Amino acid sequence: MNAPALTKNQALVFEVLEKADGPLSAYTILDKLRDHGFRAPLQVYRALEKLLEYGVVHRLESINAFVACAHPDQNCHSHGIVAFAICESCGHVMEFHDHEVDHRLMNWTRGKKFKAEKTTIEIRGLCETCAA
């Protein structure tokens, strides 16, 4: 999905996520935008819905949070599954993909005639700094 120009709310939410140094919950985003007129969760969720659709934001299912895409330029999402490593101590997220993993999972689903729509890979643990 290519991203059209963002609306005001979408741009505000995206900006907050870009500036953050880690994933944010929808309600945290809401709090950061109260000064800009945001009053209700739906304003955030509606913007997030579009940003996810455009592929510029990812949702981390295992921690109910959202993060700006780390690969804004290359549209790597069009050719593979995105995986995340999430540090449970400092909150930092690393985004990557591995075509071999994609391939293996696709092989499995094909064998089962399962039609995959959306795949989540999230590794929780400790980043190098926090594990030391």
In the region spanning residues 92 to 121, those forming contacts with DNA, defined by CB under 7 A, are none
Write down the residue that tokens 């935008």 correspond to.
Answer: 33
Q: Does 87 contact Zn ion by CB under 5 A?
A: yes
8 Å CB contact between 23 and 91:
yes
Given DNA, a copy of itself, Zn ion, none, residue 85, with its beta carbon under 5 to 8 Å by kind, binds a copy of itself
Pick the closer one to DNA by CB: 4 or 111: 4
Residue 98 binding: pick among Zn ion, DNA, a copy of itself, none (C-beta 5-8 Å cut-off by kind): a copy of itself
> Which of 16, 17, 43, 69 touches DNA by CB under 7 A?
43
How many positions of this chain bind DNA (CB under 7 A)?
A: 21
- Residues constituting the chain: 132
Task: List residues bridging with 67 in a β-sheet.
Answer: 58
Nearest to 123 by CA among 97, 84, 92, 96: 84
Residue 86, H or E segment: strand 83-87
Residue numbers belonging to the annotated binding site for Zn(2+): 87, 90, 127, 130
